[in-house]
Structure 1
Amino acid sequence: MTAPPFPCSPVPVSPEIRLTYVLQHFWQAYEAVPPVSIGYPSHQPQIEVAEAAGPFFEQQHPYPPAPTWRQWQGRTIPFFFDSAPDNPLIEWRPNGQAIIHADIISAAFYLLSGWQEYFSEERDQHGRFPYSASVQHRYNFVTIPVVNYYFDVLKTAVEHAIGQPLRLRRWAGKATWACCITHDIDNLYSAWKAPAKAALRQGNLRHFGRQLWQHFTTHDTWDNLSQVQQMVAEYGAKSTFFFLPEYRKAANGTPNADYNIQKVWAHAATAISSAEVGLHASVGTNTQGGQLKEEGHRLQRLRNGVKADGIRFHYLSWEPRITPGLLDELLYTYDSTLGFAEHFGFRNSYCLPFHPFDFQQRNAFLFLEIPLNVMDATLHHPRYLQLAPEEIAPALTPMLQEIERFGGVCTVLWHNENFDPANTHNGPQEFHTLMQYLCSRNPAFLHGQDIVLHLEAEK
């Protein structure tokens, strides 16, 4: 599948625009940074960054030349737009001046803006930019928040200029990092289907009949929102539930919810108590503003006029040329869609919330992106990683350590259906193991809107 046509032909992104966008996020990552000039050589700044992107950002190529690899803080990090790899990364000058010999501004802009997926024509069967087409896959750094390492280089130069250390921003309760636990509510009444289909394939009509009987006479195991909310609360955390207002299949046959939200809302609202509610927008709404608006209104009416602040698209659908503009137009304060379905890690190579780049207006969108780092389906799925239960924690731990290292936000998606005790692959035990690790590292557990308000207050 290929991407839809451009909404309009973009104009070049100048060095000044790239610098403004990247520094906006750099200042947000640290506390109380004193004034210091950072820029390209033509500006004669105190901290000079090599300008090495050439004409790349005047064109529409999705991929830059291969990165060079440099050592920084004990890690081997890819540096795009590094035209002088034999030079030291930072050259110290008198009077607090410094030269950074790799163009970390352009490299950070390239990754943070999502340039590769905006200009790539590659899309998978669900219309998504695929992990297999990404530079993160090509150069094997999806679990490394490369932009945070670029910022760490810049921070080191700033510290030299101002003569004092910078501190990463703290979260609620002065926690050094944060976690956001979320649940997409796709299914509430379908726990019986898989065992029933298996029985039918095996010709075991008695077992099939038993499953069918239980479906009509007993409580469905996936109708478990109260248990999910309580289980998360036992860890001192809180849940965000993204509800899917559309139960009809998409035009291409892709399923949406297995429930009618109008019929189940009173029950669901009681089950989740005061947990945060977000919109889980249905298949196709990532490019259809009218449908997206209607689904938001549908959920808002059920909530007595209270609009959902946050959104995540079903199947993690995202069209970079259209979706962000719809979110700003409809005044959502945050989105939490941007993660690769095929692999845990960092889709934009950044472990903090950020404002996506508007390629039409050449500035940052207003809404905040709270990136998705790990989804339960990614860990064990026929088309994804197929990790054994004992492999999950060792696989995730290095990524979690990177988020903690840079004071980031770890966003977890665990579907309510995977709290089913019958799931022994990516089920409740694997969730418990993950939560036990997170709690041992003392993050702030926050809702999406908590994160938005915290960052607004820190400006």
Structure 2
Amino acid sequence: MLLVFTNKITPRLNFIFKHYFVRILNIPVSFTTKVEEFVAHNGPKITYAKNPLGTEFFIRSNDLLFEQGINDIDINVSKWDDVPCFFSTGETSTIPFDIFAAGFYLISRYEEYLPHVQDKHERFPATESIAFKNNFLEKPVVDIWAYKFLNLLKEKFPNYKYTKREFKLISTFDIDNAFAFKHKGLVRNFGGLIKDIANLRFLNIWARFRTILNFQKDPYDTYQKILDFKKNKNVETLIFILIGDYTTFDKNISSTNSKFISLIKSLGDYVKIGLHPSYFTLKNDEMLKKEKSRLENITNTPVLFSRQHYLRFTIPETFHNLIDLDIEEDHSMGYANNIGFRASTCTPFYFYDLDFEIQTPLKIYPFAFMDTTLNVHLKLDTKKSLNKILELKEEVKKVDGTFISLMHNEVLSETGNWRGWSNVYAEMIKD
């Protein structure tokens, strides 16, 4: 066990130290404010304070972990070797910055509580983040810092037995459109046909008629492919179902459609099913509650995890609503228009509520990329998309983290812009 001496044990300090040592480094940690207890400890130990007690492993503390509420903080990014860092410390500190305050700032999403310019969907954009502005969005710097810190611990305490964690891959799919053409009714199909004609999408017109007349399988019906990949590659797979009412931004088929209900039930036999709260649940907690109940009535099991449609959430309000509905996991932590690590970590963490200064029971699973970010927003071809995905995956593997992908069922359709993406997915889960 690692013992930390500090002048004051706060909820913030307890939260971020346990993220580093328990969740990333597999090192049990405890705290003390008593000098004699610290001196008597025979195992690994560090001091986290303004001044060292002696010549021990010492990290000079920033004030952030001992404050309450939100303050406007000046951030000056420097380098720890070749890794970006901030909250610099003095020369007496074993490392040149306060790794714990910096980690807390990033993981608590402190900057998202501060005034910022929202995008057109009322989201916090990547361009407002310290990670984007300082070119480390595509690196899980919190985990990188942890592993560099671990190397120094091993030098200082070589006899302690360290347990290495294992790299993990989680494949997730959002079902925004269960089917491209089928089960959408006459009006929606006629409207889609008019749009196809207006945009001269003749292949789409042909596919629409062939699908409706049962001459071919619906292009978005890729569920057996997903299940085959899961089985053959033994990859953990989660599926999030959009089950809200039809709106401009929510265009799945009706939740009362028997084919849709049958699909959800059959998928639930093989993978875990989560909720994909619709666009307007952002400001309507009753709608969120209704959709959760709707999905539970179909699956006959409690819905315990979710991901916001359009990745549309605000901190802390959205997470408060999820906690109130007994949701245990959220998978929305990422950006729609940029790839990378929104919270600068590839390790699942518990949401820390800065309004109430507590660690909540809601566990946040940060994803590394979304398929439409690469294909639609960044307009990368399959080769460049795969290279980006593998680069992100390699960054996670270096720190034995959790690599989470966000894709949609149409990514395996091999139609339109998604031609070649089945191979991209296969390569991503290869090992």
Counting only pairs closer than 5 Å after superposition, residues 24-423 of structure 1 correspond to structure 2 as: 24-28=18-22, 29-33=24-28, 36-41=45-50, 44=53, 46-53=56-63, 60=70, 64-71=74-81, 76-84=82-90, 87=91, 99-164=94-159, 167=162, 169-170=164-165, 176-190=166-180, 196=193, 199-201=196-198, 210-218=206-214, 219-249=217-247, 253-260=248-255, 263=258, 264-271=260-267, 273-304=269-300, 306-381=301-376, 384-423=377-416
C-alpha separation between the residues in 2 aligned to 1:82 and 1:113? 19
Equivalent in the alignment of 2:40: none
1:20 equivalent in alignment to 2:14: yes
Shift of 1:303: 1.6
Range 413-422 or range 183-192, more displaced? 183-192
Q: Is the 8 A contact 1:343 1:378 kept in 2?
A: yes
Q: What one-letter code is carried by the residue in structure 2 that aligns with 1:301? A: N
C-alpha separation between the residues in 1 aligned to 2:266 and 2:425? 27
Q: Go from structure 1 to structure 2 and tell me whether the alpha carbon gap of 1:15 and 1:319 turns closer, same or farther (over 3 Å shift).
A: farther
Q: Go from structure 1 to structure 2 and tell me whether the alpha carbon gap of 1:62 and 1:191 turns closer, same or farther (over 3 Å shift).
A: farther
Q: What one-letter code is carried by the residue in structure 1 that aligns with 2:404? A: T
Q: Go from structure 1 to structure 2 and tell me whether the alpha carbon gap of 1:62 and 1:326 turns closer, same or farther (over 3 Å shift).
A: farther
Shift of 1:51: 2.5
C-alpha separation between the residues in 2 aligned to 1:202 and 1:327? 40
* Identical counterparts, % of pairs: 20
Q: RMSD value over aligned CA atoms?
A: 3.0
Q: Go from structure 1 to structure 2 and tell me whether the alpha carbon gap of 1:371 and 1:406 turns closer, same or farther (over 3 Å shift).
A: same
Partner SS for 1:302: helix
C-alpha separation between the residues in 2 aligned to 1:308 and 1:296? 7
Shift of 1:301: 1.1
- CA displacement 1:177-224 (0-9 Å, x = unmatched): 1011111111023259799467412568x8776455335322422133
Shift of 1:155: 2.1
C-alpha separation between the residues in 2 aligned to 1:209 and 1:145? 44
Range 363-372 or range 194-203, more displaced? 194-203
Q: What one-letter code is carried by the residue in structure 2 that aligns with 1:41? A: K
Q: Go from structure 1 to structure 2 and tell me whether the alpha carbon gap of 1:115 and 1:201 turns closer, same or farther (over 3 Å shift).
A: same
C-alpha separation between the residues in 2 aligned to 1:159 and 1:212? 62
- CA displacement 1:205-246 (0-9 Å, x = unmatched): x87764553353224221332332223322222421111121
Range 23-32 or range 181-190, more displaced? 23-32
Partner SS for 2:106: helix
Query: What TM-score does the superposition give when structure 2 sets the normalisation length?
Result: 0.83
- CA displacement 1:74-130 (0-9 Å, x = unmatched): xx211111154xx4xxx6xxxxxx733311111111111101112233211111100
Shift of 1:66: 2.2
Partner SS for 1:326: helix
C-alpha separation between the residues in 1 aligned to 2:119 and 2:9? 32
Partner SS for 2:321: helix
C-alpha separation between the residues in 2 aligned to 1:177 and 1:268? 30
Q: Go from structure 1 to structure 2 and tell me whether the alpha carbon gap of 1:380 and 1:15 turns closer, same or farther (over 3 Å shift).
A: farther
Q: Is the 8 A contact 2:414 2:422 kept in 1?
A: no
Q: What is the number of residues matched between the two proteins?
A: 398
Q: Go from structure 1 to structure 2 and tell me whether the alpha carbon gap of 1:356 and 1:50 turns closer, same or farther (over 3 Å shift).
A: same
Q: Go from structure 1 to structure 2 and tell me whether the alpha carbon gap of 1:294 and 1:195 turns closer, same or farther (over 3 Å shift).
A: closer
Query: What TM-score does the superposition give when structure 1 sets the normalisation length?
Result: 0.78
Q: What one-letter code is carried by the residue in structure 1 that aligns with 2:50? A: P
Q: Is the 8 A contact 1:147 1:349 kept in 2?
A: yes
Q: Is the 8 A contact 1:376 1:426 kept in 2?
A: no
Q: Is the 8 A contact 1:47 1:100 kept in 2?
A: no
Q: What one-letter code is carried by the residue in structure 2 that aligns with 1:30? A: L
Q: What one-letter code is carried by the residue in structure 1 that aligns with 2:197? A: L
Partner SS for 2:307: strand
